[in-house]
Every structure is written in structure tokens, then in C-alpha cells.
Amino acid sequence: MKKVKLKKPVVYGLYTGAIALLLGTVYLISFSNQKELDTSKNKDDDMQYVSRLFGSDDMPVVNTESVIMRPYIDETVKIVQNFYDYKGSEEEQEKSIINYEQTYIQNNGVAYGGPKDAFDVVSVLDGTVTSVKEDKLLGNIVEIQASDKVVIVYQTLTDVSVKKDDAVKQGDIIGKSGTSNMNKDLGNHFVFELKINGGYVNPEEYYDKNINEL
């Protein structure tokens, strides 16, 4: 059998073609695998999206609108001293002034009392306790920030059950009613103040109103 001797250029061409064919095959396999991975990844992303959409714990909850409730639950509680209203009658204003050691002080809130025994005082709105302090004349005072423009203040409390920086919910017990050295004639009571945009308002005009309407 006669041997065929290939010239060097032909040999080099065959080697080059074989290498090109091998590289092309590797590329096609790699491209196919990458496409499958991308397709799988897209499917996983879609599945994760659907999971977040329907099953995530981070789903936003529709907020219910807060309506201001009264600062007590006992139905026998009544007003024992009114808010001082600059537009009120002279008789109403006289009943809203505190006389302490021959000094007349306008009442910036409403004093609630009636029952002989101490009764529960509750938060009228959700909020954060910003201050808890004891005053020699007014007794224990608790201040709660309900929103950027609404502050609620309780005076003449006993058995205070909250502390500064506590988060409170509407209806939570803040403390119990008590007595004050400034207004001893009122007996067992507490004073509730409502401040909106830094100014005192008559709480009796705001109960059952939505906080967003203030």
C-alpha cells in the first residue's frame, strides 16, 4: 500500500479545523447550559415575586382611622370642672378658673370626677409616652405624643402604669384618678388636656372625631 505524505500546509489546516470544531462544540454546549440556567433563574424569580405578592409577612396593612375616645370607661364619671373658653359666658368662665392661694388660674383642660374611689384613666389615642413626672401641686403628670400635631396630657394621677418612651394603644390604662393640692375641693378626679398644633383646645369638642380631621 502506498503511503500518502501530506504537505505541511495541509497538516496545519487539518489541525486548525479540528481545533476550531472542538472549540465550537464546547461553546455550543456552554451556551446551551447557560440558557437553561437563565431560564431556570427567571422562573425562580417569578416564583419569588408571586410568593412575595401573596404570601409575604411584609404586606402593607390598611390602617384604620383613629377616632378620639374619652379618657375614662366608668360611665358614672362626669365633668367636675370645665375647660376655660375665652369665648364662653362670664358664668362659664368663672367655673373654669382655679383659685389657689388667692391666685386665679385658667383651666387648660377638663377635670373629670364623680366616683368616690379611684377609677381607671385610659389613653384616648395610640401614641408614645414622652414624659412622666410628679408635681407637688398637680400630682402625677403623663404626656403622650399621639401624632406630629396632637399631644395629650393627664394630670392628678395615681398608680401610673406607664413610663417614658412606652408605646401605648388606645384604651390602655395610663393610671388612676387621684387628688391634687391645687384643687382639693374637686376630691377624687383627674385633669385631661388636649393640645393641637401647640395650643390647648376643649377636649369635649373633639371626642369621637377622626384624628385626621384635627
DSSP 70: P
- Has residue 189 got a pLDDT over 50? yes
DSSP 125: S
Length of the chain: 214
Which residue type does 130 have? T
- Has residue 49 got a pLDDT over 90? no
- 102-140: pLDDT as tens digits: 777 888 999 999 999 999 999 999 999 999 999 999 999
**pLDDT at res. 22:** 54
DSSP 55: H
**pLDDT at res. 13:** 53
- Average pLDDT over every residue of 38-66: 43
Q: Which residue has the higher pLDDT, 122 or 47?
A: 122
Angle (CA) 73-174-197 rounded to 5° is: 95
Which runs of consecutive H residues, i.e. helices, occur in 1-98? 8-55, 90-95
- Has residue 58 got a pLDDT over 70? no
- Confidence bin at 6 (pLDDT 50/70/90): very low
**pLDDT at res. 100:** 76
For the chain, what percent of residues have pLDDT higher than 70? 69
Classified as helix, coil or strand, 88 is coil
How many whole angstroms separate alpha carbon 178 and alpha carbon 121?
A: 10
Q: Which residue has the higher pLDDT, 94 or 13?
A: 94
Winning range, highest mean pLDDT, from 17-31, 45-59, 92-106: 92-106
- Average pLDDT over every residue of 63-73: 82
